[in-house]
Structure 1
Amino acid sequence: MPAHSHTPAADGRAATRRPPKRRAEIIERSAALFDARGYHSASMEDIAAAVGIRKTTLYHYFRSKDEILACIHDEFLDLLIERQQRRAALGMRPDQLVLETMEDILELMETHRGHVRVFFEHHRELPPDAHEAISRKRKRYEEEVRATIRDGVEQGAFRPVDPGMATLALFGMCNWAYQWYDASGPLSARQIAHTFWDMLLRGIASRPDGR
C-alpha cells in the first residue's frame, strides 16, 4: 500500500484519544519492522500483523504509515532532548556532557535500533508538515549540543575551536555507527562512545613523550 493511502478516522482527533500504551506499542513494532524490511516495503497490513491487530483497528490509532513514521522521528528526538536537558540542569562539566551526548546516540542503537535507522534513513519520506516540525526539533537538539561545546571553549575546558565544526565532527562519528555496530561484538555501545569521546577530545596523535 502506498505510504499516503489510508482510511481516514471519523474524527481527526481520534488518534490522540486512543490508549497511549497501544500507540506506543505500534510505534515500537513499526520501527522494528521498518528496520528489518525497510520503510517502503512494509505496509499498514504488515504493521497490523506485527502488532497482532486487524488493519481496520490500526487505522483507529494512526491514519497512515506517514503518521507512524513522523511519530518514530518525534519519539527519537524527544528521548535525546529530554536526556540532554536533564543533565544540563545538573550542572555537569562540558566534557562530561559531550561524553553523555555520545553515549545517548550510541546506546540507542541497542535500545531503539529501529528508531535509529528510521531517523537517519527515512527523514525525506516525512510529509511536508511533519518534516518541517521534525526539522525544527532536530535543529533545537543540535543547537543544545553546539552550546555545550561553546560553553566548554569559553570555560577553557576545550581549546578554541569552531563549536559548529566540532558538533558536526561529534555527529559524524556517532550517527552512522548503527550501520556497522554489532551487539555481539567485543565492544558495547557505551565502550564505543568512550572511545569516540577520547578521540574527539584528545585526537589520535601521540604525546611528545611517546605515550
Structure 2
Amino acid sequence: MSLDDRRAEIITSAAELFDRMGYSNTTMDDIGRTVGIAKPTLYHYFSGKDQILASIHEEFIDLLLEKNERRQQAGLAPEQRLLEVMVDIMELMETHRGHVRVFFEHHRELPEADQPAMRDKRDRYEAAVAHAIKQGTADGTFRDTDPRLAALALFGMCNWAYQWYQASGPLRPREIAYQFWDIFVRGIAAHPRGQTAG
C-alpha cells in the first residue's frame, strides 16, 4: 500500500471512529488497532490525532469545493447548482458519514495553525453558494433576498440532517435533497404571496 493510500485509510477509519466513539474518546491506539498498524507506525503517517482531524476536515471541504467548481465551469443554472449543493451534502452523509459529523461538530478542536486555512475554505464555499443565489436573483429566478442569509438557511436545512438520517430509511439522500430543494425554492405556502384561498 502506498503512502497516500495508507494515509487515506487512516483518515477514513479515524472518521468512522470519531463518529461512533466521539473525537475526545478516541485514542491513537484505537485508530492504530482499527487500521491494523502499531501506534509507533501510525505516527509515521500523522504527528497526532489533531493532524488526522485536520485532514478529515480538509478532505471533506475539498470534496465540496471541487464538486461546486465543476458545476460552475459547466454553466449550470443557479437553481440547479443549489439543488446539487444539497445533494452533495446529503449524499456525503451516506458515503462519508464520519467526515460529516467531524466537520460539523469538531471544527473547534482543529489545531490553531490549521484554523485560518480551513476557515478560508469554509468561507469560499459559503460565498459560492451565496453567489449562485445572487445570480438567480439577477436573472429573475429568485425573488430579491439577502444572498448570504439565504445560503445560511440552505445550510441549516442540510448540515444537521446527519442527526436523523438513516441509510435504512424510506428515502435516499438525493430524494431528500430534492424535497429540501423544493421547500427551499418554492416554500410551503399553498398559494402565491398575497393570494388567499377562495
Scaled by the length of structure 1, what TM-score is found? Answer: 0.89
- Paired with 2:122 and 2:145, the residues of 1 have a C-alpha distance of 23
Match of 1:96 among 62, 80, 94: 80
Q: Match of 1:69?
A: 53
Q: Match of 1:140?
A: 124
Which residue identity does 1:111 align to in structure 2?
Answer: T
- Alpha-carbon deviations, 1:5-38, whole Å to 9, x = none? xxxxxxxxxxxxx710100000000000100100
- Paired with 1:21 and 1:186, the residues of 2 have a C-alpha distance of 34
RMSD: 1.1
Gaps of 5+ in 1: 1-17
Match of 1:29 among 13, 27, 31: 13
2:125 is the counterpart of 1:178: no
Structure 1 residue 209, shift from structure 2 partner: 8.5
Q: Match of 1:189?
A: 173
Structure 1 residue 97, shift from structure 2 partner: 0.3
Structure 1 residue 76, shift from structure 2 partner: 0.2
- Paired with 2:152 and 2:93, the residues of 1 have a C-alpha distance of 19
Structure 1 residue 128, shift from structure 2 partner: 0.6
- 3-state DSSP class of the match of 1:33? helix
- 3-state DSSP class of the match of 1:89? helix
- Paired with 1:136 and 1:116, the residues of 2 have a C-alpha distance of 18
Show structure 1 runs of 4+ deviating over 2 A: 207-210
Alignment size in residue pairs: 193
Which residue identity does 1:67 align to in structure 2?
Answer: Q
